[in-house]
Structure 1
């Protein structure tokens, strides 16, 4: 009786290791959770003659995509909060979110993770007010980092705001699957007091917890932090909350509070000046770049070229589909590159190669996971995807990186594996019941739509 091979050889017409240039007709060999070899088809077949073989043909093999910022629990609200100024958009989103039950939020999060896996995302950084995103990450088998949001604008209540969150994070850490980590996310300067920012950062550093912050996202935020005026200041005044503007940029504000010393993942960073970029680079903090959300909400164009030149670890995030409206990192990278070229009037600014690196090894570096994922190399975890190159919108392909960044869609992904485990086989997700989740999502959306019509919101 022949024993099944311990090795699986995955082949494709193109291999894009990221750590070295792409090459034709090759593949990778996976044993258990790890990649054990990368090379040409002839070389790998000779070295591993007993290996089971899966040949994707006219496709590209590459590392799994790393989404460094998402809000999967908001998936069911896609397309429901449109064409509003940012502060009004936040208020409308908050109101809709409050209509969802705990069970509905969990199903919404599952739907978001399903979409991500189908589009080739093997690592997802999710930020949420509830544990729904955490549970969806653990159930699905993806690699992930869940940030529990922290809110509290009254300085005198900082300890009371932090205490229950610390307990919740402790509980989540105890329940986490091997590939999922947990961290803290003090939301933003207009929803978190200076005292609470300090306490969260201190707790994160003392307990080796990752930190994530929405920062320098909008002009309204800059006006609030630097000048103490605008819509966020008015909201504080109406709530009877004392706010003394520090009179500096949002990034400088985090630095002065000691928060940058915790090396947080900074989300958006649209409004950053040279001094801010230098402070981030010096601190070792990383940045989650979300160009589509930044543009759709009218925030502006982030200084991506300057971040890259400063050596900052940058990854790309989709943000939530409520502000995007697609969880597609190929589309995100394409839009981000084209936006920069249009904004700077330069046809050579950035490159397809750089953007693909940000989707993979760059994102891994932003999460301090680059020793384990982000490239196809022997010894690394077998997080990889296969992308179909046979579509009419892709052919002909001479440079697979150019094809992926300028032509590919998330729907071109044909295979997704994390740690050698197949999560998407080209037909269906193997770890979650897609049909049930989709049906439930339709029901939830119909209920929310009816409630909205009834209330007249």
Structure 2
């Protein structure tokens, strides 16, 4: 329990803590002035708002009466690309490499100011939809295009460091708790220079992002697109130098599968596969790769909506759970989920697993909700701060009303929350006990400006990229 005075008391709530060993209950929760949970329990709050051990009744600080609505932890997206908020609907019928090629062509014409506003809009979109923490792959400074058939990359230019740093600034300015993933571009510039740029970006996070919003830095694993195994060794060097983890896009698609599987060995031989290393997607490993990943303590992050949108396949989540892999869940790009909807992500995840395995009991609603909250926090190594509603953790929570619109009687709380709730029922989003979105509208002072900037800048960037792109804006 923290010593901060109570600033907010939530009452008459159906609280879904998502903490292991605890079930839902109807009661109260208190938040301290430091933005952390100070107490929660059944029934009426104790007088003065203290812990469950306090006597009496009453509420301290500002009172939020939710009139029987669900109060649950904010969703954690353990795999996100937040600069893509202006690219929804792009290449609607392409698989991974065709889609990413068009996206790369478009973003190649963006500058540091453009990517700031793109990222800010993406972060506010996440917050408005109930995602309060995210692992964000910053867009690389390298401007280029990867060809999966030939396993080569065409490089157009390398942008200034400001392009990278402004993405970090945008997540900070949005108020989204973020783990910033930074790509080590040692293939495209002198290695020592690449390490210096990487170190300056990590330091920028530490120096400019307030500690409560900073979930740390990470290596943006890029061996999947590398021409040699040296990059795997370089990434391990960066991990060791900064004491950070790594998340690598890997085995997402069945395209060029033998080539991807060979590059798994590069990571293994370099010593990268260990606790703190995550495989993003991990849809198509063979049995040996899954076993190695589990034995060495690595984890994976699952993107159900994205994998369906791009036709990438369905990850074998029951197998990974049997092996003991930590499993996080992400919303990936706005450009391959289109709507950054964690409720939809939960449903698609459960339903696709049940359909593929022809087993309605293969994955329960509570298990899926855990993976998209506490499980994602565990995979990222930040579960002591976020992911569940527990005393001492940040008060990042959602108010979700099953009566507006009415969804009928509640037979099972976790099933109703996972299956019957949607963005239309999401009434309020709080980060650290502070309201950030109400009825689907951001209360951030830059929200309207971010929308205007996004629309104007996407048009301008698209015009600059038109000579290399086949996509066209409709309006």
Q: Deviations over 1:4-50 (max 9, x none)?
A: x73421124411111211123x1211112221111123244544544
Query: Larger deviation: 436-445 or 363-372?
Result: 436-445
In 2, the alpha carbon distance for the partners of 1:271 and 1:259 equals 19
Extract unaligned runs of 5+ from structure 2: 48-55, 141-163, 471-475
**Residue of structure 2 equivalent to 1:211:** 246
Query: Larger deviation: 259-268 or 302-311?
Result: 259-268
When residues 140 and 449 of structure 1 are mapped into structure 2, their CA distance, relative to the original with a 3 A threshold, is closer
* Helix, strand or coil at the partner of 1:37: strand
Q: Deviations over 1:118-158 (max 9, x none)?
A: 1111111110123343222211222110101234557x954
Do residues 119 (structure 1) and 129 (structure 2) align? yes
Query: Larger deviation: 143-152 or 265-274?
Result: 143-152
Q: Deviations over 1:340-365 (max 9, x none)?
A: 11111112110101011111111111
* Helix, strand or coil at the partner of 1:104: helix
In 1, the alpha carbon distance for the partners of 2:424 and 2:117 equals 22
When residues 265 and 454 of structure 1 are mapped into structure 2, their CA distance, relative to the original with a 3 A threshold, is closer
**Residue of structure 2 equivalent to 1:166:** 199
* Helix, strand or coil at the partner of 2:23: coil
* Aligned residues of 1:74 and 1:108 also touching (Cα < 8 A): yes
In 2, the alpha carbon distance for the partners of 1:88 and 1:35 equals 45
Do residues 394 (structure 1) and 410 (structure 2) align? no
In the TM superposition, what is the alpha-carbon distance from 1:309 to its structure 2 partner?
1.9
When residues 294 and 50 of structure 1 are mapped into structure 2, their CA distance, relative to the original with a 3 A threshold, is closer
**Residue of structure 1 equivalent to 2:76:** 66
When residues 146 and 63 of structure 1 are mapped into structure 2, their CA distance, relative to the original with a 3 A threshold, is same
Query: Larger deviation: 445-454 or 47-56?
Result: 445-454
In the TM superposition, what is the alpha-carbon distance from 1:287 to its structure 2 partner?
1.5
**Residue of structure 1 equivalent to 2:306:** 293
In the TM superposition, 1:53-202 aligns within 5 A as: 53-128=63-138, 129=140, 130-151=164-185, 153=187, 158-178=191-211, 179-180=213-214, 181-191=216-226, 193-202=228-237
* Aligned residues of 1:16 and 1:22 also touching (Cα < 8 A): yes
* Helix, strand or coil at the partner of 2:44: helix
Q: Deviations over 1:256-284 (max 9, x none)?
A: 22111363122100012322222222222
In the TM superposition, what is the alpha-carbon distance from 1:385 to its structure 2 partner?
1.6
* Aligned residues of 1:316 and 1:329 also touching (Cα < 8 A): no
In 1, the alpha carbon distance for the partners of 2:375 and 2:468 equals 45
* Helix, strand or coil at the partner of 1:68: strand
When residues 54 and 258 of structure 1 are mapped into structure 2, their CA distance, relative to the original with a 3 A threshold, is same
* Aligned residues of 1:330 and 1:410 also touching (Cα < 8 A): yes
In 1, the alpha carbon distance for the partners of 2:462 and 2:209 equals 34
In 1, the alpha carbon distance for the partners of 2:200 and 2:7 equals 43
**Residue of structure 2 equivalent to 1:381:** 394
**TM (normalized to structure 1)?**
0.87
**Residue of structure 1 equivalent to 2:50:** none
Of Structure 1 and Structure 2, the greater helix share is in 1
* Aligned residues of 1:11 and 1:61 also touching (Cα < 8 A): no
Do residues 18 (structure 1) and 18 (structure 2) align? yes
In 1, the alpha carbon distance for the partners of 2:273 and 2:369 equals 27
**Residue of structure 1 equivalent to 2:40:** 38
When residues 411 and 442 of structure 1 are mapped into structure 2, their CA distance, relative to the original with a 3 A threshold, is farther
When residues 364 and 111 of structure 1 are mapped into structure 2, their CA distance, relative to the original with a 3 A threshold, is same
In the TM superposition, what is the alpha-carbon distance from 1:393 to its structure 2 partner?
6.2
Aligned match for 2:383, one of 370, 379, 392: 370
When residues 347 and 376 of structure 1 are mapped into structure 2, their CA distance, relative to the original with a 3 A threshold, is same
CA RMSD of aligned residues (A): 2.4
* Aligned residues of 2:236 and 2:270 also touching (Cα < 8 A): no
* Aligned residues of 2:220 and 2:247 also touching (Cα < 8 A): yes
Aligned match for 1:260, one of 248, 273, 296: 273
**TM (normalized to structure 2)?**
0.84
When residues 7 and 106 of structure 1 are mapped into structure 2, their CA distance, relative to the original with a 3 A threshold, is closer
Do residues 335 (structure 1) and 348 (structure 2) align? yes
Runs of 4+ in 1 over 6 A off after TM superposition: 452-456
**Residue of structure 2 equivalent to 1:408:** 421
Extract unaligned runs of 5+ from structure 1: 227-247
In the TM superposition, what is the alpha-carbon distance from 1:225 to its structure 2 partner?
3.6
